[in-house]
Structures are given as structure tokens and as C-alpha cells.
Chains A and B, each alone.
Chain A
Amino acid sequence: DTAVSQTPKYLVTQMGNDKSIKCEQNLGHDTMYWYKQDSKKFLKIMFSYNNKELIINETVPNRFSPKSPDKAHLNLHINSLELGDSAVYFCASSQGGQGATDTQYFGPGTRLTVL
């Protein structure tokens, strides 16, 4: 059983399109995250939700909109895709309520390529 799963694993699309990446965790965690890993391998947090409530919202273009239908899911919708959005996007989850002491469990990543 995959603890944190993401779909799709690969996503190739044209500039200007709208796409979504889905994330699901079966760990019973309360907190979920989205990270972006650029071509230089830098990992940077984008969003974090705790019990469906947004708690971290980094300086991310508003073309990116996270949606949490329930605490086991955190989807990332991206409008009007740009070349610079090409990256690997990682979803993660943690138990929540403990802040930094939580261990974050990562999904396998979604490689997004914008042509």
C-alpha cells in the first residue's frame, strides 16, 4: 500500500493549458503539503493544509490553486501553464499538530513538462 500517492506520475502539456495533479494519503494524517523541485533540485514548499484549512501559502503565482476536498486529499490545480512551471511536484503529509517535529512523508512526485 502506497502511503502517499500522486497522479499522474508524468504530465506533458502545452503552454496555456490548465492541469491538475492529485494527491492522496492513507496514513490518517491531518496535514498535507505541496513542494516544487526545480531543475536544479531545489525543493521549496508551496502550500500546506491542516484539516482542509490552508496554513502555509508561499509566494506562489495565483495560477496555482490547491484544493482539499477532505483531509486525505490535496490536489493542485494549475491554470495557464507556463514554461517555468516545468518541475517535479511533490506531495507530502504529516500527522499534524506538532509542527516541525512531525515527520513528513513524501509521495513519488509528478514530473510536469510544459512545452
Chain B
Amino acid sequence: AQSVTQPDIHITVSEGASLELRCNYSYGATPYLFWYVQSPGQGLQLLLKYFSGDTLVQGIKGFEAEFKRSQSSFNLRKPSVHWSDAAEYFCAVGPASNTGKLIFGQGTTLQVKP
């Protein structure tokens, strides 16, 4: 069965520090992978997505993610975190069929210290 694991429930970083949020997936074929961000009281916004090609994907707000097939990972990174990045981050894997069904991880709460 397809699944997504985000090992870190909660992460705190200082403003200006680098950030890496982990995501591991279990999937039977080449996955479609996504990172979404959820700000407090808001819906989810797509940060970036990977379908094929270059394994390093650039997204909005200065985020990037790297697909590593050998490690079944799709970690999200940002070189310098801003206070406004404090939010909930969700990794998701694409569907087994062509239905658009996404399977989400449990999410990682990012807190940014001034």
C-alpha cells in the first residue's frame, strides 16, 4: 500500500538558519511527489512537485526538494528560514491510478524562533 511518512512531527529552527523537512514514501512505481504548506487557519498551498526529470525541484518561497529513489525520500529544504515560514508542511504522494488521489503524510509543524 502507498504511504507517506514524515518522521518529524515538530521542528523548531532559528530565523536565518537552514531547514530540512524529511519525507519518506512507500510506493510501487515511480511516484508523483508533492510538498504543501498550510498556514494557520488556511488551506493548503502547493510548494513544489516532482513528476520526472531533474531530481532537484525548485518551488515557491525559496524552497527546494530532492527526490532520492534509492532512499525513497523527498526532503524539503530551504537555505535560510524566515519567520513567515512557520506553518504546517505536508508531503504527499501521487496516485496509483490516474484519479488525482493524493496520499498525505502526517505533517511537520515548523516553528521559527526570532
Contact = CB atoms under 8 A, between A and B. Distances in A.
A41 B106 contact: yes
Contacts of A42: 104, 106-107
Contacts of B36: 106
A66 interface: no
Interface in B34-77: 36, 41-46, 49, 51
B43 A94 contact: no
A12 interface: no
Contacts of A55: 99
Nearest to B46: A103
B43 A41 contact: no
B90 interface: yes
Contacts of B107: 41-43
Interface in A67-115: 90, 92, 94, 96, 98-109
Given A40-B106, A44-B104, 15 more contacts: A4-B43, A41-B88, A42-B106, A42-B107, A43-B104, A55-B99, A56-B100, A94-B100, A99-B95, A100-B94, A100-B100, A100-B102, A104-B46, A104-B100, A106-B45
Interface of B: 32, 36, 41-46, 49, 51, 88, 90, 94-95, 97-102, 104, 106-107
Interface of A: 4, 31, 33, 40-45, 48, 55-56, 90, 92, 94, 96, 98-109
